Amino acid sequence: MDNLTLIGMASIFTAGITIGIGSIGPALGEGRALANALTALAQQPDEANTIIRTLFVGMAMVESTAIYCFVVTMILIFANPFWNYFLGQAGG
């Protein structure tokens, strides 16, 4: 097995692990935030606008972590900086 194949395998494996593990935390965080927001809405329906606005801002911040993991995955698969180096070394 040559170095180019190893780099390809490592990139795809790392991309899969990154998106797999990187999406677990935000999913749990968003579920917990939604549950707490629904509890707060049930207890204080007069403050619905404030609670919902804060919920959406918080969820956007939590979701940004998953988006960063997705961006890293796309870089590893489609714009891997090691590919050009090893293709140049292989003469391709």
Q: Per-residue pLDDT tens for 18-32?
A: 999 989 989 998 999
Q: How far is Cα 11 from Cα 78, in angstroms, rounded to an integer?
A: 10
Per the structure, the complete domain to which residue 68 belongs is given by: 3-90
Q: Per-residue pLDDT tens for 47-85?
A: 999 999 999 999 999 889 889 999 989 988 888 877 777
Query: DSSP per residue over 26-68, as a string?
Result: HHHHHHHHHHHHHHHHHH-GGGHHHHHHHHHHHHHHHHHHHHH
Q: Is the overall model pTM greater than 0.85, yes or no?
A: no
Specify the number of domains making up the chain. Answer: 1
Supply the CATH number for residue 61's domain: 1.20.20.10
